[in-house]
Structure 1
Amino acid sequence: MDLSVILLSVVVILFFANVYSNQKRHIHKNLPPGPKPLPIVGNMHMIDMKQPYKSFMELSKEYGTVLTIHFGMAKVIVLCGYDTVKDALLNHGEEFSNRPKLPIFSKTTDGNGLFFSNGESWKAMRRFTLSTLGDYGMGKKAIEDKISEEAKYLVQTLNSYGGKPFDILTVLNAAVANIIISILLGHRFNYDDPIILRLIGMINENIQLMSSRAVMLYNVIPTLLDLLPGPHQKLFENMWHLQNFIRETFTKQKKNLDVNDQSNLIDAFLVNQQEGKSESSEYFHNDNLIALLNDLFAAGMETTTTTMRWAILLMMKYPEIQTIANSSLNMTTLLLTCLLVTDSACLTLFCVQPSLYLLSATCQPAKYLLPVTCQPAKYLLSAICQPAKYLLPVICQPAKYLLPVTCQTAKYLMSATCQPPSTC
């Protein structure tokens, strides 16, 4: 046998032995309980990657509401149950505020933007985003006018199909995207415009790819998978195309920028960039702008579209509820802002995947001392599906949220201890 093959075999054996011994070694002695991990893969063989929340639910029955799961060689602390999640979010909010440095996002954003940045950069971008979105109508009547106008375009497009079957995803995506685009870029696109169709296509494809096994595995062994083809490479390609589009867009706007006539979020960012303050050079740079706009594109497009698609599907499935909801909306204009959220919509919007946050300091929820290096995953589905807090939480019953209208307000049914789920 070739000497090089023998040496390589010895190195591989020693590597696996070292990994296994490190996993067995109690570096952090007070970590929550959890299933025993295998070398390299950890507990990934026990997790249903398409529906991980079901695996977490089953494991929590055996190991408790705070448990340790090994995703490859990374330790993730999963928090289950209403009381545990509430304790983490309310009583330890500051400690749970940071985001994890996942390789897939580190490569595409390099710690910039809003969703996966940390520290002072995240605070600066969050402060700027909330302030600027408010300046351009978010939460005010100005955005209502834009939504009403866009709704007319949407209805016209739906009527144009003459009652024939069609795929509603693209039309809804374009309508919703135009709202956030009007704030970011200052104008809207026609629904058949190739630019918006390409943007929507890449964002939707990336969201699907994010839940693929290859992308999840990339977060475990990024160095190796960088050398191999797969869905993760397509995700990177889409991200680079999106970033190039954003870069070209703000480069054009920068040439015609008028400090005294700012018309959208890009203008506001560029003005901050030119102020000459220390914060301007440190946080208001082009890479942060590209990542921020990409975050807002995805956030302002996918979640609202998903809500509308679930609403349409559930209204089709429960026509009697559609009649009640329609009567409510027709009875008074005060009900035009009423939102009917059903059980299944809640499960989809809030609970498809657990939210990962990186600890900014040591934290001690439920008697366990969690080190900074661990990634806590707050399992929201377990919180809003707890029978002690919610009535029949896993059964879709739209009627229990909206009663037949006998007055000028919609009435909702909740248990006495119920606290509606929220998202930031």
Structure 2
Amino acid sequence: MALLLLALLALLALWGLLRARAGTPAPAPRWPPGPRPLPLVGNLHLLRGAQQDEALMQLSKQYGPVFTVHLGHQKTVVLTGYEAVKEALVGTRQELAGRPPIAIFQLINRGGGVFFSSGPRWRAARQLTVRALHSLGVGRAPVADKVLQELRCLTAQLDSYGGRPFPLAVLRWAPSNITFALLFGQRFDYRDPVFRSLLGLVDDVMVLLGKPSVQLFNLYPRLGALLQLHRPVLRKIEEVRAILRALLEARRRRTPPRGPEQSYLDALIQQGQGKDPEGLFTEANVVACVLDMVMAGTETTAATLQWAALLMGKHPRVQSRVQEELDRALGPARLPRPEDVHALPYTNAVLHEVQRFITLLPHAPRCTVANTQLGPYLLPKVLQPPAGGDLVPGASELRAPPSGLPPQPRDPPAPHVPAGRRVCVGESLARSELFLLFAGLLQRYRLLPPPGLSAAALDTTPAPAFTARPSAQALCAVPRLQGR
């Protein structure tokens, strides 16, 4: 009897010890409200495919600015509106700094790169990228001079059309070439086959990433892999990688081990030549970083400049007022400089309105790296699955664009949706680049619809792609006679 009592006491002591070590059990998650999911499809039947953004905005009217939807079996919190996004992405600091392992991007970069990575590899890649861009002069005079040089090349190209219609996509060339100059240490002639190939492949990849088949692959990776839905994207990505590896090898041959960095490739090469005990800058991750910078650096700024030009053609009164301000502040000959932004408040406000109107990346998914209190809700920490595994609960930010670009943009401009710790590494470059290119174009040209087409007939419906890029169409860049 005594032995039995001692055994019971020992078991009780062991149970108490284990409970003490376990600590207080984690509180149960409290998810935001949302529509009831159906088996297998979740709430996909409510999202109407290509009109997904509009459907989510309608759901926000019913469930509030923070709500939960089920994308297949994936539980996702959707944030709508500036205040909700600010509270989540800025107020939670690091808790929402992770990226959910989106299936297609896991296959493309295997958790590496700058934009869709998380954890130590993301922090190392981001720190190197920020440092490299700063050393290359981003935000200072050296890069501003590169932008103005590219502006001259772009205006020479537009002048060759003699006021006749030009494809809107021509406006991609200048911002893309600025990115390439920083990444590779050289600008390309617009007729260069490498330049044309890279732009064409980026365009192909962005279109493929926006296809329903790839979205289906992201929602049901095992089914998508069985149906080979990811193969067209991966084939195009491999073509991009082949070009990047050739450029990397050419740069490596001419870059001294300890010389000054003259490109982003130089920074990656020198980092890879140093000590890297954790393998954060292997050859595969170096290529992943360059791939991310090429895809993001050529698409976002280039698409925004196209939208800005298209919306000026559609809103001639706004364009006229911008040009009146440019004439007062700069005159007919002096090109804009970054410091002119304070003397051109209306021009700057119009650019902000353009960016609010287009919502270039309406869904920027995050995942929780710790239990996260979001208002009255408690979102659980996400456990990362292996590469190519199922997606996990996350948060997606969405904001509704205004119904149209107003003739009187707000001044001062309303703030952009905050990004918190995931703010774009090239944000300062993109802002300066857009300002200089936009102001320089409108200083020199009147942007008009093609002959026989009214301003109202210009199409502002986004083309189907991963980003909200404008559909293929044409404008006329008619030289302004004032002062010339």
Instruction: Using structure 2 for the length normalisation, give the TM-score.
Output: 0.72
Q: Match of 1:398?
A: 407
Q: Distance in 2 between matches of 1:51 and 1:114?
A: 29
Is the 8 Å Cα contact of residues 112 and 285 (structure 2) preserved in structure 1? Answer: yes
How far the C-alpha of 1:28 sits from its partner, in A, is 6.1
The verdict on how the C-alpha distance between 1:400 and 1:220 changes in structure 2, with shifts beyond 3 A counting, is: closer
Q: Which AA in structure 2 matches 1:110?
A: R
Work out which of the residue numbers 257, 282, 287 in structure 2 matches 1:290. 287
1:377 pairs, out of 395, 399, 404, with 395
Paired residues for 1:103-182 under 5 Å: 103-169=103-169, 171-182=170-181
Residue identity over aligned pairs, in percent, reads 31
Matched ranges for 1:404-419 at <5 A? 412=411, 419=415
Structure 1 residues 395 and 256: alpha-carbon distance in aligned structure 2, compared to 1, 3 A threshold:
closer
Equivalent residue runs for 1:207-246 within 5 Å:
207-230=206-229, 232-246=230-244
Q: Does residue 363 of structure 1 match 2:387? A: no
Of 349, 356, 368, the match for 1:346: 356
Aligned to 2:187: 188
1:201 is the counterpart of 2:200: yes
Instruction: Name the structure 1 match of 2:298.
Output: 301
Aligned length: 371
Aligned equivalent of 2:248: 250
Q: CA 1:85–1:342 in 2, change beyond 3 Å: closer, same or farther?
A: closer
Of 148-157 and 80-89, more deviation after overlay is shown by 80-89
Which residue pairs with 1:390 in the alignment?
none
In 2, the alpha carbon distance for the partners of 1:137 and 1:253 equals 20
Matched, 1:76 2:85: no
Which structure has more relative contact order (CA 8 Å, sep 6+)? It is 2
Deviation at 1:29, TM superposition (A): 5.6
1:325 corresponding residue in structure 2: 322
Q: Is the Cα–Cα contact under 8 Å of residues 246 and 293 in structure 1 kept in the other structure? A: yes
Question: Quick one: distance in 2 between partners of 1:118 and 1:181?
Answer: 25
Contact 1:85-1:378 within 8 A present in 2 as well: no
Question: CA separation in 1, counterparts of 2:82 and 2:192?
Answer: 45
Q: Which moved more, 1:86-95 or 1:143-152?
A: 86-95
What one-letter code is carried by the residue in structure 2 that aligns with 1:119?
A: G
Aligned 8 A contact 1:111 1:118 in 2? yes
Name the SS for the 2:49 alignment partner: coil
Write the distance in 1 (CA, Å) between the matches of 2:243 and 2:409.
46
Take 1:419 and 1:104, find their aligned partners in 2: how far apart are those partners? 32
C-alpha separation in 2, matches of 1:101 and 1:35: 24
Aligned mates of 1:258, 1:246 — CA distance in 2: 19
Alpha-carbon deviation of 1:368? 1.4
Cα displacement string for residues 159-199 of structure 1 (whole angstroms, at most 9, x for unaligned residues): 11122222130x22221111111111111111122211111
Sort the Cα spacing of 1:332 and 1:347 in 2 relative to 1 into closer, same or farther, 3 A.
Answer: closer
Q: Distance in 1 between matches of 2:179 and 2:352?
A: 25
Residues 61/324 of structure 1: CA separation in 2 closer, same or farther (3 Å cut): closer
Deviation at 1:101, TM superposition (A): 0.4
Query: Which of 287, 306, 311 is matched with 2:308 structurally?
Result: 311
How far the C-alpha of 1:377 sits from its partner, in A, is 2.8
- CA contact 2:98–2:367 (8 Å) conserved in 1: yes
C-alpha change, 1:182 and 1:106, in structure 2 (3 Å) is same
Unaligned runs of 5+ in 1: 1-26, 386-392, 402-411
Residue 270 of structure 1 corresponds to which residue in structure 2?
269
- Residues 343, 398 of structure 1: 8 Å contact kept: no
In 1, are the aligned partners of 2:113 and 2:286 still within 8 Å (CA)? Answer: yes
Give 3-state SS (helix, strand or coil) of 1:400's partner.
Answer: coil
Paired residues of 1:32 and 1:77 also in contact (CA < 8 A): yes
**CA distance 1:268–1:400, shift in 2 (3 Å):** closer
Deviates more, 1:60-69 or 1:147-156: 60-69
- CA deviations on 1:202-229 (whole Å, 9 max, x unpaired) are 1122222222211111012222222325
Equivalent position of 2:12 in the other structure? none
* 8 Å Cα contact 2:185-2:263 kept in structure 1: yes
Q: Give yes or no for contact 2:78–2:398 (8 Å, CA) kept in 1.
A: no
What is the alpha-carbon distance in structure 1 between the residues aligned to residue 416 and residue 36 of structure 2? 35
- Gaps of at least 5 residues in structure 2 are 1-26, 331-336, 383-391, 424-484
AA paired with 1:190? D
Q: Which amino acid aligns with 2:145?
A: D
Deviation at 1:246, TM superposition (A): 1.2
Q: 1:285 to 1:136 in 2, by over 3 A?
A: same
* Distance change >3 Å, CA 258–CA 413, structure 1 → 2: closer
Distance (Å, rounded) in 2 between the aligned partners of 1:183 and 1:342: 25
**8 Å contact kept, 1:306–1:349:** no
Question: 1:34 touches 1:63 (CA, 8 Å); kept in 2?
Answer: yes
